[in-house]
Amino acid sequence: MSDEPTGPMLPQDRGPVSAAMIGALRDGGPPAVGEAAATADPYGDDLQLALYVAYELHYRGFAGVDPAREWDPELLRVRAVLERRFLDALRADATAHESATAALDDLLVEPVGGDGVPHVLERSGTRSQLREYAAQRSLYHLKEADPHAWVLPRLWGRAKAGMAAVEFDEFGGGRAERVHAQLFADLMADLGLDTTYGRYVEAAGAEMLAVVNLMSLFGLHRALRGALVGHFAAVEVTSSPASRRLAGAMRRAGAGPAAEFFYDEHVEADAVHEQVVRHEVVDGLLAVEPHLERDVAFGIDATGFLDDRFGERLLSAWQAGESSLRRAIELDLVRVP
């Protein structure tokens, strides 16, 4: 038994469930959650942080936490309760389509009035709004494509080949400096942000944690492989037009060459990825497992639903002239370049 010598620090708790989970990791004992897990708000800070911490054991873990805790049955038992609450809420709130194609097509309808986050940042984003956006999105992009790799052993034929081809690009095509997570770290450096993995967990609200937890949830469960494929499809299909706007936002704000490059790269790459994901991964999966159609559609719908919630948090804060970050860490966000 050994502790991880390096890695992110355990975050501060945000309520009884996350306190029990973080305390268990800190002390080495079982999580004393009691009834709180079964009644926590499925989209709230407490449940989402507890789930985030549980999932992080499958990525890079935490400094001082024994890596063997990844398969601790007591932690997994609590995680399962939290996952059930999250999944039940999503199935109730985010099931809009029965067909994967219809779900993808609806995702491409731009918001009425052009007032999504990429639109707003392209039109009027300030450097500090771009920093807030990148700091929170770093929870996703610094593990970009990682949970999607978990689905590979669960696919076969065209779906596996197509998924591996896109993942090869996401992981830099054999070049470490081109790994998309690295390209995002370079963007963060241009914006004067700290590129350390896990640095901005405290900055991120429940909406951002939920975006990341969704892909971890889908990636870790073979039973949810259809939803994971749907999630990947939703990301690739929406990325190219959004990246074009975000590249424009970075250019207009003078953010720097790496900040522009991350989004320019995604305009090009994801236009190709969209075609591969639609025709090889989604169609290939449904050709051999047609019973997964509703799960693929659910994965797409849930992705759009949680992305919208994150976007609403940003825009409502900015419209009120406030920061979209959690209050406590606001002043600690950046080292001014």
Binding site for Fe ion (CB under 5 A): 170, 180, 270, 273
Q: Closer to Fe ion by CB, 48 or 243: give it.
A: 243
Provide, rounded to whole angstroms, the least separation between the CB of residue 277 and Fe ion. 8
To the nearest whole angstrom, how small is the minimum distance from the Cβ of residue 161 to Fe ion?
A: 16
**Residue closer to Fe ion (CB basis): 137 or 180:** 180
Return the residue matching tokens 């499809």: 233
Three-state SS at 30: coil
Contacts of 287 (CB under 8 A, 6+ apart): 157, 158
The residue with its CB nearest to Fe ion is 180
Cβ-based nearer residue to Fe ion, 97 or 148? 148
Q: How far is the CB of 8 from Fe ion (least distance, A)?
A: 22
DSSP secondary structure, 209-264, as one string? HHHHHHHHHHHH-GGGHHHHHHHHHHHHHHHHHHHHHHHHHHHHHT--HHHHHHHH
Burial class, 185, CB count within 10 angstroms (exposed 0-12 / middle 13-18 / buried 19+): buried
Most distant CA pair in the chain, distance: 56
CA distances 281 to 101, 157, 165, 227, Å, are: 13, 9, 10, 12
- Which of 29, 173 has the CB closer to Fe ion? 173
Judged by CB, which is closer to Fe ion: 266, or 326? Answer: 266
**DSSP 3-state of 316:** helix
CB 266 to Fe ion: min, Å: 6
**19/38 Cα distance (integer angstroms):** 15
Instruction: Please give the Cα distance from 18 to 12 (Å, whole number).
Output: 8
* Shortest CB 182 distance to Fe ion, Å: 11
Task: Kindly list the distances between the CA atom of residue 169 and the CA atoms of 84, 162, 166, 277, in Å, as whole numbers in the listed order.
Answer: 33, 11, 5, 13
- The encoded tokens of residue 113 equal 């009035």
Query: Cβ of residue 134: shortest distance to Fe ion, in angstroms?
Result: 15
CB 238 to Fe ion: min, Å = 11
Give the residue with the Cβ less far from Fe ion, 122 or 144: 144
Contacts of 139 (CB under 8 A, 6+ apart): 200, 201, 204, 208, 209, 211, 212
Question: Which of 225/273 has CB closer to Fe ion?
Answer: 273
Q: Rank residues 178 and 294 by Cβ distance to Fe ion and give the closer one.
A: 178
Sorted by sequence, the CB contacts under 8 Å of residue 321 that are 6+ apart come out as none
Query: How far apart are CB 261 and Fe ion at their closest, in Å?
Result: 12
Report, in Å, the least distance between residue 169 CB and Fe ion. Answer: 6
Amino acid at 133: Y
Decide whether 14 or 180 has the Cβ nearer to Fe ion: 180
What distance in Å separates the CA atoms of residue 262 and residue 181, rounded to the nearest whole number?
10
